[in-house]
Structures are given as C-alpha cells and as structure tokens.
C-alpha cells in the first residue's frame, strides 16, 4: 500500500489548517510522554521503510496516527477490512489507530519514493483534545534525506547504548532524544548535524542498531543494521566513520551515552546480541585507535554522558582521538546531560573549539540537575579536561610515583599511616557507595578516589620533603589539565577541592599496559602500601574514663589517641535476643590534624528501630547510613543490589527520593522509584564483634512515596563505636546499652552533668 496516491484522492478541508497550527507551532510538544507510552520501531531498507508501534500504557489512552502532506492532515485507523485513511474534520473526533493496550502493529514497508513529502505524527491520549492539550505527540517521520549532507560547522555524534536505562519505566535514552528534538528546533535551521546510533536494549525498537539523523525537531531513521552488539570496538569506530563520511563538518563532537565505570569501561549492551557485555578500556582504546587512523585530525571533543568517566586512566585512553574531554568523576542522575540546552546553544552560537563545547555541556548539566532537584540529592560533579596537558602531567606523575615507591621501600609503618590518612580524607567515587553496609578495602577490585585530594594530604611530614614537593607539582599539573569543573555542596562538604578527576587504587588493572610507565610505578608503590597495611596487626588502644575521672559503669566514654584512629562511626540500634540490630550508622570522626582533644558524644535518642513503609501498614526494617545530610540504605531493587537515597522533607519526614542500582560491577544512574517497583530493605546484625546482613520482607511501591518510620524504645537502645586505624581493620566497642544511652531529667550521672550536651557516652580523641 502506498499512502501518497490514497491521500491525493481526498479534497483539502480548509479547517485542517487549524490542526496544522496546533501540531507544528502553537502547542509545546511533550514528546517524552509519547516515548514513555508508545514504543516506535521504524526500519528502513535500501528502498523501503516499515513502521511498527507497540503501546506500553496499561490504562487510559489511545494511539492516534496522523499523516501530513503540505497543510493536509489525515488520520489512520485499523479496521477489519484493513487500514483506513480519512481526512480530519474539526467537528468530529478523528479515528483511533490503536485502542488501549494492544500487540505491536506494523505498517508497510512503503517505498521511500512514495514517502517523499510525507510527515507522520504519533500521539497518545484519551481524546484528540487531550492529546493536544498535553502535547503528548511527536513527529516521527519527515521524509527521506539525501546523503551525504552538506558540510556544517559542527557534527555531534551520539552513541546511545540504551541498556536497562531505556528498558526501565523512565526510558532515559528516549527522553534525551526528545531533548535533542527540542534543541534542534530553532530559528537557525540546518546549522549543525546531530547523528545518533541507538540500540543495546531489550526495549521494543532498541534490540537492533539504528542510525538516526535529528534535525528541525524531527528524527529520521537512516539505517537499521540489525541485531549487533554496541559494546564492541568496531561498532563504535564504524559509527564515527559513518558520521564523518555522511555528515562532514568543520568540528566533531563524540558523545558516549550509557553506563560508565571509569576503569571498568563504558557501555553495557543488554540487547540479545550484546549479552550484557561492557566495552573495556582496552576495547575502547582499540576503537579510538581505529578512528584516529581514519581521520585527518583529532576530534574536537569526546563527552562522556556516563558515570565515573572523569578519571586519569580514561583521560589517557581518550587522548588518542581528541584534545578535549568532558565527564563526571561521580555518578550521573538518570537525566544525564541537557541536550536541549546543548544543541540550542551551539546552533545559536557555534563554539570555536572543544573546550568551549565542553563548558556548554557542563553548564546545561548543572542547570538541569538544579531544575530537577538532583543537584541536592546526588553528588554532582563535572569536568572539562585539556588533554594536551597530559604529557607534562605524566612526567611529573612519574617523579611522584618513583619517589613514593622509594619511600615505601625504605621506610617503616609511618608511610602506611601517611597514605592511609590521605585515602580516608579523599572522597571515593561513587560517594554513595558509603551506603553499602559491608565493605572491605581488601575485597574491592576497583577503588576510585579523588586524585587531587590525595595529593593534598599525602606526605604532611617534613621528613618526606621531596615527595611533598612532587605532590605539589602534580597538583599544579592537574589544575592545568582540568580547565573547568564544578561540584555541588555535597561534594564540597567532603572536601572543597574535590570533584576534578579520580584515580583507581584497586587491585584489578587489566589496562595497565595502555598507560604510561609512571602509572605502573604508582601501582607498584600502592602494592607495597597494601602489603605493609595488611601485615600491620595493631589496633587503637584506649581506656574508658568518665568525664570527671571516675570509673564508668554501663555507659562509657572511651579515650583514644589521635595518632592511632583514622575513622570512627557510631552504630545505633536496639537490643535483640542475641546481639544488636543496627538501624543507623553515623560518621563520628574522620582523620584530621588536631590541636586539642576532641569530645564526641553519642545521642541515645537516635538509637531507634527504623522502618521503610510503602503504606500505613506495609513496613520493613532497614539500616540507614548517614552521609552529608542524606540517609542511604543498602537494598535490593527489582532483583538488583542498589542504594536507596532518603531525603528529609520540611516536616522532618524522611522519604525515598532516588534509587541507584548496580548490575554486576557497573553502577546505574540515580532515578526515582516508580509504582510497581520491588524494594527489599536489609538490616545489619552485630554479635560478638561480627557483622552480618539480613534481608527484610520485600515491599512493592504503590502510589505513595515510601517513607521512614522510627520506633524508639530507650530501654533497649544500644550504641557501639566502630573504628579502624591505619591498617583499615575494623573493631567494635560497646558504648552504652540497657537504657543507659540517654540522660534523664536531673540525672546525677557524672557524664550527664559535665559534658556540654549531656551525653552519657561517647569517645574522646586525645592529643598527646
């Protein structure tokens, strides 16, 4: 069937011009909602195009399909006798293409010749008026372009591996494509090329690899390559070569969209062909080398719209094909970059170089994070790197690494203390990983820490003057490498200088041969550090002394030496039949130079039972970890391990504001909970100095945002101090229990009388 001859048999209705105005000019398009409720699969071949539609909605709404030729609009409906094409009469409700939820329906294939001059709109709504009022429609086809396109100022290449980000209920990849559609709709038409490759997901329409051309507010599917893995070097290099051949430009930007793992690699492909593979750093390097071999000059910029990719290791790999890189050392929220802001800005004022392009991407990312409130609930960072500075940096890096290795070879445990203090004071990425209840430095294969902060804190002692000098030089080199960066207050609260770039100090380094020799030198120095740390069997020593010098009874004040303790947490809970159920973990102390004794009291009124509730009656116990004004909970989310973030509302109620899943070794992106999600909270059990993690009954999220309830029984309150010294070996010491955790009115307890905040128990970090 060909649409064109059929359409031309109808007489033009003048009132259809009203619909033309509504669809094309007057109403804002909220196309994200269309792609949430309707999976669209457009498959072109050399001569034909096929259209398939699979509704995702379950309740109200119908699918409408409108065909435009000139100013004429016609609606398509499916009947027992086949397809029916009818002109729209403004006084009548147009025919419905698909009623409610149904199976996938395909149209065509139609010859490309017959589709010239044809535009296709798809929308979802209860009625056409509802659809128009909500703007829940999109132009899904707008003719066939001729390739290659004329040379433009910029070609933006987006490699979008949909993964579970697209197959989730949020359809994050489609949302970003909608942002691209909006960003390409400006008064300056055809100023840039936006070329997208999609695939890598189990969502309908995403299980094959497609090439898209986005321009003038519409997307055109140029090619369908069939089922292929996007997590291979060839798939990426083929895309870049295809884009440069068919969309020539003065400047090129490559954006890699999906999951990121820093040293673990990029791009988890969950399609049938991808089988969950992620492109390792070695494979990413292979792709970049192939691309560089086929280009006359480096790309202007590579932007990582993926988590954890602003690392020194990724920067070196990326320098193969570009002089500029942009990305985040931290996790990204689900929305990622703001493509509407990015495209509109570069269309209206084309950037002169990759650094300017990266700054535009960073600004939009921060603005969108603030607008969507993820700026306040996530650790937001973003950096723009001038990779031409890497050769000088590696020279300084080599001097520092060689000296560090010499120090660890020639010196004793003092060097272990030096580096341990630096590591504990530097943020680790992702910061929210602190929500994990059971973590061990020795068991983690990838440990990303803030490189700049480690250099700030390493070698504070005068006897390591040369090491300190190299560390300061390396900080200067990093400032020249990271030409623009910004973080939010949650990262700055950990360290004001955090958020530029990370370094992996874990044990797994299959990419080692790809990096300069200086990196191997550092790796060997870290191996020496770990050997000495693991051989150290010491633990902090102290005594229990009441504030007035009296011997404590049940509630205790524990005096510890400042040079022995590097980390101190409070474990707040309730007495169980055996051991303690821990419900709250609070940071009490992180190593810092002290001029005088530090007194840290523990508030027994916080030793309550904590429950996550999805309704007034459906609740499960959970353990929460406090971090920079947020509560983090280690949960299982839709069968995946995850970190649940809890935020405090104005009325002091703690609510679930986002969830961060992890699939295998790859972290997902922060996003809100949705109705139907399953959450299994976990609780820590402490007995005889050993921690175990136990699941609570699973909960199914409904319409209510899950909240946290507290059940406080001061007679069964228990608070334990968890601490470790320079060897990172955890120890526990009971501070109070059996109802003696709280000072009562007119309490004669020495501790309640003499301490500033009337704490019965706590810890003193003493300076000697």
Render pLDDT for 514-547 as a digit per residue (tens, 0 to 9).
999 999 999 999 988 888 888 888 888 777 766 5
Tokens found for residue 280: 């390792």
Q: Please determine, for residue 26, whether its predicted confidence score (pLDDT) is greater than 50.
A: no
For the chain, give the mean pLDDT. Answer: 87
3-state secondary structure of 435: helix
Q: Please determine, for residue 315, whether its predicted confidence score (pLDDT) is greater than 90.
A: yes
Q: Please determine, for residue 136, whether its predicted confidence score (pLDDT) is greater than 90.
A: no
Peptide linkage before 111 cis (omega within 30 of 0): no
Q: State pLDDT tens for residues 412-443.
A: 656 777 788 888 888 899 999 989 888 777 77
- CB of 407 within 8 A of CB of 469? no
CA dihedral 115, 121, 124, 130 (to 10 degrees): -140
Place of tokens 């973990």: 585
Mean pLDDT score, 141-146: 88
Q: How far is CA 214 from the centre of its chain?
A: 25
What was the pLDDT predicted at 504? 95
What was the pLDDT predicted at 571? 96
Q: State pLDDT tens for residues 578-606.
A: 999 999 999 999 888 888 989 898 988 89
pLDDT band at 11 (very low <50, low <70, confident <90, very high): very low
Q: Please determine, for residue 570, whether its predicted confidence score (pLDDT) is greater than 90.
A: yes
Neighbours of 350 (CB within 10 A): 17
494: Cα within 13 Å, side-chain hemisphere: 29
Mean pLDDT score, 696-720: 93
How far apart are the C-alpha atoms of 760 and 768, rounded to whole Å?
A: 24
How far apart are the C-alpha atoms of 530 and 551, rounded to whole Å?
A: 39
Tokens found for residue 143: 């003719």
Tokens found for residue 102: 């149904």
Mean pLDDT score, 758-762: 82
* β-strand partners of 633: 624, 644
Distances (CA, A) of 413 to 406, 454, 632: 14, 18, 34
Q: State pLDDT tens for residues 347-358.
A: 999 999 999 999
Q: State pLDDT tens for residues 220-234.
A: 999 999 999 999 999
pTM of the model: 0.92
How far apart are the C-alpha atoms of 73 and 24, rounded to whole Å?
A: 12
What was the pLDDT predicted at 168? 84
How far apart are the C-alpha atoms of 374 and 670, rounded to whole Å?
A: 8
Q: Which of 69-73, 246-250, 459-463 has the highest mean pLDDT?
A: 246-250
How far apart are the C-alpha atoms of 277 and 467, rounded to whole Å?
A: 41
Starting at the earlier edge strand, list the strands of the sheet with 381-386: 218-224, 210-215, 192-199, 152-161, 249-257, 301-305, 324-327, 381-386, 482-487
724 vs 267, more confident: 267
Tokens found for residue 236: 């990426």
What was the pLDDT predicted at 414? 63
- CB of 562 within 8 A of CB of 756? no
Q: Please determine, for residue 563, whether its predicted confidence score (pLDDT) is greater than 50.
A: yes
Nearest C-alpha neighbor of 744 from the set 605, 637, 580 = 605
Tokens found for residue 370: 């603030």
Q: State pLDDT tens for residues 729-739.
A: 888 888 988 77
How far apart are the C-alpha atoms of 60 and 77, rounded to whole Å?
A: 18
228-248 in b/e form (b: 16+ CB < 10 A) is: bbbbbbebbbbbbebbbebbe
Mean pLDDT score, 688-706: 93
What was the pLDDT predicted at 189? 61
What was the pLDDT predicted at 191? 82
How far apart are the C-alpha atoms of 763 and 768, rounded to whole Å?
A: 16
Q: Please determine, for residue 489, whether its predicted confidence score (pLDDT) is greater than 90.
A: no
Q: Please determine, for residue 27, whether its predicted confidence score (pLDDT) is greater than 50.
A: no
What was the pLDDT predicted at 24? 53
**Which CATH number is associated with domain 152-378?**
3.40.50.11970
284-312 in b/e form (b: 16+ CB < 10 A) is: bbbbbebbbeeeeebbbbbbbbbbbbbbb
- Domain boundary assignment for the chain: 3-142, 152-378, 390-482+492-535, 542-575+588-605+715-766, 610-699
How far apart are the C-alpha atoms of 92 and 583, rounded to whole Å?
A: 61
């Amino acid at each position: 069937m060909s649409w064109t001859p059929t359409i031309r048999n109808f007489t033009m209705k003048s009132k259809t011009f009203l619909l033309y105005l509504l669809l094309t000019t007057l109403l804002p398009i909220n196309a994200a909602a269309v792609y949430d409720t309707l999976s669209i699969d457009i498959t072109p071949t050399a001569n034909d195009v096929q259209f398939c539609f699979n509704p995702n909605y379950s309740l109200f709404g119908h699918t409408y399909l409108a065909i435009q030729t000139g100013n004429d609009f016609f609606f398509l409906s499916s009947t027992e006798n086949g397809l029916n094409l009818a002109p729209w009469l403004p006084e009548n409700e147009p025919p419905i293409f698909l009623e409610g939820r149904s199976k996938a329906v395909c149209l065509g294939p139609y010859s490309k010749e017959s589709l010239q001059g044809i535009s296709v709109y798809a929308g979802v709504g209860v009625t056409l008026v509802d659809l128009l009022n909500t703007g829940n429609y999109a132009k899904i086809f707008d003719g066939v372009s001729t390739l290659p396109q004329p040379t433009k100022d910029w070609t933006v290449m987006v490699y979008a591996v949909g993964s579970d980000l697209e197959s989730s209920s949020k359809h994050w990849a489609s949302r970003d494509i909608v942002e691209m559609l909006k960003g390409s709709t400006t008064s300056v038409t055809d100023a840039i090329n936006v070329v997208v490759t999609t695939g890598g997901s189990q969502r309908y329409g995403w299980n094959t690899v497609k090439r898209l051309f986005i321009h003038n507010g519409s997307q055109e599917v140029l090619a369908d390559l069939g089922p292929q893995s996007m997590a291979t070097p060839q798939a990426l290099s083929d895309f870049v070569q295809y884009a440069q051949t068919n969309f020539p430009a003065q400047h090129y930007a490559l954006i890699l969209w999906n999951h990121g793992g820093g040293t673990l690699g990029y791009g988890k492909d969950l399609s049938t062909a991808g089988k969950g593979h992620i492109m390792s750093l070695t494979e990413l390097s292979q792709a970049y080398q192939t691309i560089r071999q086929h280009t006359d000059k480096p790309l202007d910029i590579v932007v990582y719209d993926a988590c954890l990719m602003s690392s020194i290791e990724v920067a070196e790999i990326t320098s193969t094909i570009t002089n500029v890189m942009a990305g985040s050392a931290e996790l990204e929220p689900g929305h990622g970059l703001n493509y509407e802001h990015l495209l509109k800005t570069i269309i209206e004022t084309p950037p002169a170089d990759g650094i300017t392009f990266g700054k535009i991407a960073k600004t939009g990312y921060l603005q969108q994070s603030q607008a969507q409130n993820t700026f306040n609930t996530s650790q937001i960072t973003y950096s723009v790197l001038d990779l031409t500075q890497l050769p000088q940096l590696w020279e300084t890096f080599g001097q520092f690494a060689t000296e560090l290795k010499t120090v660890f070879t020639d010196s004793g445990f003092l060097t272990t203390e030096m580096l341990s203090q630096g590591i504990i004071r530097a943020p680790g990425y992702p910061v929210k990983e602190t929500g994990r209840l059971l973590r061990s430095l020795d068991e983690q294969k990838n440990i990303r820490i803030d490189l700049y902060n480690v250099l700030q804190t390493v070698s504070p002692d005068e006897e390591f003057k040369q090491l300190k000098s190299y560390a300061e030089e390396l900080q200067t080199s990093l400032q020249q490498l990271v030409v623009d960066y910004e973080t939010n207050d949650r990262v700055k609260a950990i360290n004001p200088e955090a958020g530029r770039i990370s370094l992996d100090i874990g044990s797994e380094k299959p990419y080692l041969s790809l990096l300069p020799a200086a990196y191997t030198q550092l790796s060997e120095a870290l191996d020496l550090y770990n050997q000495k740390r693991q051989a150290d069997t010491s633990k902090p020593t102290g005594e229990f002394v009441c504030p007035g010098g009296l011997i404590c009874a049940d509630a205790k004040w524990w005096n510890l030496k400042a040079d022995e303790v590097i980390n101190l947490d409070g474990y707040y809970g309730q007495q169980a039949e055996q051991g303690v159920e821990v419900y709250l973990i609070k940071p009490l102390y992180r190593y810092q130079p002290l001029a005088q004794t530090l007194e840290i009291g523990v508030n027994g009124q916080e030793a309550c039972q904590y429950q996550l509730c999805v309704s007034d009656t459906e609740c499960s116990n959970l353990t929460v970890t406090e971090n920079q004004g947020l509560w983090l909970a280690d949960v299982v989310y839709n069968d995946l391990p995850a970190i649940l973030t809890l935020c405090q509302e104005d009325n002091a109620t703690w609510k679930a504001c986002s969830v961060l899943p992890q699939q295998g070794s790859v972290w997902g992106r922060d996003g809100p909970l949705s109705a139907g999600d399953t959450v299994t909270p976990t609780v820590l059990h402490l007995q005889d100095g050993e921690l175990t993690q136990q699941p609570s009954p699973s909960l199914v999220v409904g319409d209510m945002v899950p909240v946290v309830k507290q059940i406080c029984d001061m007679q069964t309150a228990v608070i334990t101090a968890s601490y470790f010294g320079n060897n990172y070996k955890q120890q526990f010491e009971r501070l109070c229990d059996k109802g003696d955790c709280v000072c009562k009115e007119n309490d004669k307890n020495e501790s309640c009388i003499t301490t500033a905040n009337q704490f019965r128990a706590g810890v003193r970090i003493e300076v000697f």
